[in-house]
Amino acid sequence: MRIAVVGSGYVGLVAAACFAELGHEVISIDNDVEKVAMLQRGEVPIHEEFLPELLARHRSQKLTFSTDLREAVGQSQAIFIAVGTPATEMGDADLSYVEQVSREVAQAINGYKVVVEKSTVPVTTSEWIRRVMLLDGADADQFDVASNPEFLREGTAVEDFLYPDRIVVGADTERCATLLRQIYEPMTSGEYYQRNNIIPNVSNATVPPPIIVTSAKSAELIKHASNAFLATKISFINAVANICEAVGADIKEVCEGIGTDARIGRRFLNPGIGYGGSCFPKDLKAFSSVARETGYDFRLLQEVMAINAEQRSRFLRKVRSALWTLKGKKLAVLGLAFKGGTDDIRESPSIEIVKCLRKEGCEVRAFDPAATERAQEVLADSGISYHRSPYEAAEAADALLILTDWPEFARLDLPRLKSALTYPIMIDGRNLYDPAAMAAAGFIYSSVGRPDVQASIAKQNGKPEKMAAATPEKAH
Ligand code: UGA
């Protein structure tokens, strides 16, 4: 199949590389001339596991890069729109890039094509795309508009694409559904998984994945509702973690107890400093706005967003209660991206926390395995220094804060860290360590939804002791 993917951001580039991996002839289109040149030279603009391998494997063969949308449309049977849908000031999705691409596609159409929404868009966007294409002269028989939402996570995007829980195709005609089924056939038939040298099934996903064919509107709703549900799960567990803190219960034990109920499931039940990234914050606002337009006030989503914002303030209160005053304190910060495994800092809770710490007069010593360069662009501040390792960041710091869940942050050399820090204080916003082990290693350790522990008492009776539960923050 000949496929054009318009937009080479996280979703577009991964989709283009993965379609090529499945065996299709793919043209990746972007209007950013520099980015296209970079991709043509073999450079990889984003940090994404397995993406460099796929680009190297298929570049100049099954995968080409271009700025010429019209030519690509002329050569392709399916055109995937994967351009940005940023939030407007009102919170709804800005669909102007989608509209612009739809118009250009309409003008270049030269035979039956399927135009597929890959970007996250509000329900009824497919109808709008159809309408503008007709207005721009496309013949109604020459195209169909489909929705094929993506459920990939940054950091594991390639794996999520090739080993998905399900493939959702929203198509309103059989002709269109058939073409999309053909595109995913190497996966749904299981044929891809029999090949040699494929991208490994790291998380042991069930293959082949099922394909769910729905109407275009249902598929659009599936995407927004999935992200909203996952964000709700995170805010729910953060709220429960806050109750755990107040009563001295342990959120890890609570999660084990509720997550083993197959109806609830263990995944996305990790409490922390709240969700961030380019998807959940934007999509919750957009979904809430879509609901309002349909006449439904989705108050649950407002509360999910409010709990999420409060989670950052609660973390800052933890830092204050561990250090008393903040002005002039040196703090080592591990993690600047919105989560581990990515260099993306969009809507990163960590960046927000760093900004607040700076406002309170702290000196920040930061380390992130991939996001430093991007963070520097938005945190141009002489009070923040960037370091090459967690230990260098911890050097002479008054405390260490863990803000993203990079696997390497969960495997730190604790004696080395302790000797680098001025005080052995760790405030863990991602619950990467076991409190008892931290106390035994000589740390004063505070995390989310679990009792704080302090080393000094642990040393006396060989057991970590819970710190006074009624710190001002806990009493709140
Ligand atoms: C999310 C969805 O998980 C994907 O299915 C979806 O395709 C994507 O948005 C999108 O719409 O494009 P992503 O934003 O890459 O993916 O990241 P997640 O892994 O979902 O994490 C989002 C945020 O939630 C991060 O800040 C993460 O740290 C936080 N999180 C996640 C928690 O606080 N607790 C959890 O248990 C899980």
Note the pLDDT of residue 455: 67
Q: Average pLDDT for residues 70-77, to the nearest whole number?
A: 97
Of 176, 244, 255, 279, the catalytic one is 279
Residue 434 backbone dihedrals phi, psi, to 5 degrees: -85, 125
249 lines ligand 1 (CB under 6 A): no
For ligand 1, the distance from its centroid to the CA atom of residue 421, given in whole angstroms, is: 32
Q: Average pLDDT for residues 201-220, to the nearest whole number?
A: 97
268 lines ligand 1 (CB under 6 A): yes
- Four-CA torsion 125, 131, 135, 139, nearest 10 degrees: 120
Residues in CB range of 313: below 8 A, 6 or more apart? none
304 lines ligand 1 (CB under 6 A): no
How do residues 294-337 score in pLDDT, each as one tens digit? 999 999 999 999 999 999 999 999 999 999 999 999 999 999 99
Note the pLDDT of residue 93: 87
345 lines ligand 1 (CB under 6 A): no
Cα–Cα distance measured from residue 284 to residue 120, given in angstroms and rounded to the nearest whole number = 11
347 lines ligand 1 (CB under 6 A): no
Contact (Cβ atoms closer than 8 angstroms) between residue 316 and residue 446: no
For ligand 1, the distance from its centroid to the CA atom of residue 466, given in whole angstroms, is: 32
161 lines ligand 1 (CB under 6 A): no
298 lines ligand 1 (CB under 6 A): no
Among left, alpha and beta (phi > 0; psi -120 to 50; other), residue 373 is alpha
Structure tokens at 149: 């939402």
Note the pLDDT of residue 87: 86
Residue having the nearest C-alpha atom to atom 7 of ligand 1: 151
- Which residue would you say has higher pLDDT here, 433 or 155? 433
How do residues 104-137 score in pLDDT, each as one tens digit? 999 999 999 999 999 999 999 999 999 999 999 9
How do residues 150-161 score in pLDDT, each as one tens digit? 999 998 999 999
Structure tokens at 407: 């696997």
Note the pLDDT of residue 468: 41
Note the pLDDT of residue 475: 33
230 lines ligand 1 (CB under 6 A): yes
Confidence of residue 208 (pLDDT cuts 50, 70, 90): very high
Confidence of residue 456 (pLDDT cuts 50, 70, 90): low
Name the DSSP letter for residue 222: H
Length of the chain: 476
For ligand 1, the distance from its centroid to the CA atom of residue 249, given in whole angstroms, is: 26
How do residues 396-425 score in pLDDT, each as one tens digit? 999 999 999 999 999 999 999 999 999 999
In the annotation, is 279 catalytic?
yes
Q: Which amino acid is at 172?
A: D
The terminus-to-terminus CA distance of the chain in angstroms comes to 59
51-58 vs 10-22: helix crossing angle, rounded to 10: 50
Cα–Cα distance measured from residue 248 to residue 245, given in angstroms and rounded to the nearest whole number = 5
For ligand 1, the distance from its centroid to the CA atom of residue 312, given in whole angstroms, is: 17
Structure tokens at 303: 């509360």
For ligand 1, the distance from its centroid to the CA atom of residue 160, given in whole angstroms, is: 12
Residue having the nearest C-alpha atom to atom 25 of ligand 1: 275
For ligand 1, the distance from its centroid to the CA atom of residue 223, given in whole angstroms, is: 13
Q: Tell me the three state secondary structure of residue 99.
A: helix
Among left, alpha and beta (phi > 0; psi -120 to 50; other), residue 54 is alpha
Residue having the nearest C-alpha atom to atom 29 of ligand 1: 275
406 lines ligand 1 (CB under 6 A): no
Note the pLDDT of residue 454: 84
Q: How many C-beta neighbours within 10 Å does residue 330 have?
A: 17
- The pick from 234, 240, 402 for probing ligand 1's pocket by mutation, whose C-beta has the most ligand atoms within 8 angstroms, reads 234
For ligand 1, the distance from its centroid to the CA atom of residue 153, given in whole angstroms, is: 6
Note the pLDDT of residue 458: 43
Confidence of residue 470 (pLDDT cuts 50, 70, 90): very low
Strands 453-454, 465-466: pairing is: antiparallel
Confidence of residue 256 (pLDDT cuts 50, 70, 90): very high
Cα–Cα distance measured from residue 260 to residue 437, given in angstroms and rounded to the nearest whole number = 25
Residue 185 CB burial class (10 angstroms; 0-12, 13-18, ≥19): middle
- pTM exceeds 0.95, yes or no: no
Q: Average pLDDT for residues 10-17, to the nearest whole number?
A: 97
